[in-house]
A and B are shown apart, each in its own frame.
Chain A
């Protein structure tokens, strides 16, 4: 009876080890994202200011240390991605990996929050890898290559053309943002001038009212 149980446990451990090795292998091959360390029972958030109609694609995965091999505890995170108006775009509880993709419907700051719960005793800081791509970086070149039958060098040049287009669009967007800000600046500048003159006027008016009122008061009291 004990031996059967040992057999099961060692098979479980072997499988865990295999999974861990696959993770390591995957880590080396695909580690093109940003890694964050989330303290136990803490929240870490990443956000980006994105304009509307932009494709956002992200992959996230939790990394395992060798320490986790010895325990039965698998590190998990809860993910919540919110739009600038507070709507949840993606929400997952207690997962080890996942992905989400959406097209932004409004301008603003999109936030992805990762949180851990210290439900187990073995809770420690969890490392999460996030690969977050927006705009041209999120474009699916494989399907473009298949659809238009381009490959190799031509595909690479197409990608470069896409990047150049994205650069030009970004520049136009930056220009329009700068124009908005210039408008706000100039309006504030005009307001400062007006408000200061009005403030002087208010001061003079208030003091005149004071003097007139007191004069009238003293005359009424027959002091003057």
Chain B
């Protein structure tokens, strides 16, 4: 029993070491993910270096607002590790954000849905680091060309982020289109049926009126 427990602990440590090895693979960002926000949904992202640019966007994708044409919106609040608010957007159905991290640490991105219907939010967060002269001086393996490559990579990342934003907006537009298409068909069919039903009820009612009372009056 004791040996088995030791064995389990050993595999845990090995698993951790394997995970640590994975950590040294490239500096690539996460894909655009969607999450369903019922009330508050918080996502955390770790910023490694102070002064890194944190950029991203979010779009409310799937909303089932029946009557009104404009989405009431969702709030985004970004909290720095010290507890102060770094960025805040209220009542939008999608926005891009961009800020320079004042310190390294765990940043909290909270989406708040002020309404009772759950909303699906598609978000993308990217933390970009460009080596500065200070880093160049510290690490002799870094060339000035690495700085240029990092800048190029960040520029390409911003294009990719824009594409993810467009994709999320396209998804939302597609929802609206599909909903319009379904509404047109369903409501038109219902309208025809109800019209036919109402007029046949009218005719039946008039027939009934005239067949009962007039027959009595007629001798």
Q: Which residues of A contact B33 (CB under 8 A)?
A: 34, 46-48, 132
The digit string for A38-49, where 1 denotes a CB below 8 A from any CB of B, is 000000111111
Are B19 and A170 in contact, with the CB atoms below 8 A? no
Find residues 160-181 in chain B having any chain A CB closer than 8 Å to their own CB: 160, 163, 166-167, 170-171, 173-174, 177-178, 180-181
Chain A interface size band reads 35 or more
Are B203 and A163 in contact, with the CB atoms below 8 A? no
Find residues 12-40 in chain B having any chain A CB closer than 8 Å to their own CB: 12-13, 15-17, 19-20, 22-36
B70-78, B91-99, B130-138, B191-199 - the one binding chain A: B191-199
Are B149 and A44 in contact, with the CB atoms below 8 A? no
Q: Is A69 an interface residue (CB 8 A)?
A: no
A83-91, A115-123, A202-210 - the one binding chain B: A202-210
A195 CB → nearest B CB, Å? 4
- Which of A35, A141, A164 is B44 in contact with, Cβ under 8 Å? A35
Beta-carbon nearest neighbor of B202 in chain A: A210
Q: Which residues of B contact A170 (CB under 8 A)?
A: 160, 163, 167
Q: A218 and B210 in contact (CB under 8 A), knowing A31-B48, A59-B22?
A: yes
Find residues 97-112 in chain B having any chain A CB closer than 8 Å to their own CB: 106
Q: Which residues of B contact A96 (CB under 8 A)?
A: 12
B217 CB → nearest A CB, Å? 11
Are B30 and A191 in contact, with the CB atoms below 8 A? no
A34 to B153, CA, bound (A): 21
Are B36 and A210 in contact, with the CB atoms below 8 A? no
Which secondary structure dominates where chain A touches chain B? helix
Are B45 and A34 in contact, with the CB atoms below 8 A? yes
Are A37 and B20 in contact, with the CB atoms below 8 A? no
A50 CB → nearest B CB, Å? 8
Are A174 and B202 in contact, with the CB atoms below 8 A? no
Q: Which residues of A contact B45 (CB under 8 A)?
A: 34-35
Are B188 and A195 in contact, with the CB atoms below 8 A? yes
Beta-carbon nearest neighbor of B198 in chain A: A206
A185 CB → nearest B CB, Å? 6
B39 CB → nearest A CB, Å? 12
The digit string for A178-206, where 1 denotes a CB below 8 A from any CB of B, is 10010011011001100100110011001
Are B167 and A174 in contact, with the CB atoms below 8 A? yes
Are A188 and B203 in contact, with the CB atoms below 8 A? no
- Which of A19, A132, A218 is B9 in contact with, Cβ under 8 Å? A19
The digit string for B187-219, where 1 denotes a CB below 8 A from any CB of A, is 010011001100100110011001100100000
11 residue pairs of the A-B complex, CB under 8 angstroms, read A19-B12, A22-B16, A32-B28, A32-B46, A97-B19, A132-B30, A141-B26, A170-B163, A177-B174, A181-B177, A202-B195
Residues of A at under 8 Å CB distance from B?
Answer: 8, 12, 15, 18-19, 22-23, 25-37, 44-49, 59, 61, 96-97, 109, 127, 131-135, 137, 141-142, 153, 156-157, 159-160, 163-164, 166-167, 170-171, 174, 177-178, 181, 184-185, 187-188, 191-192, 195, 198-199, 202-203, 206-207, 209-210, 213-214, 217-218, 221, 223
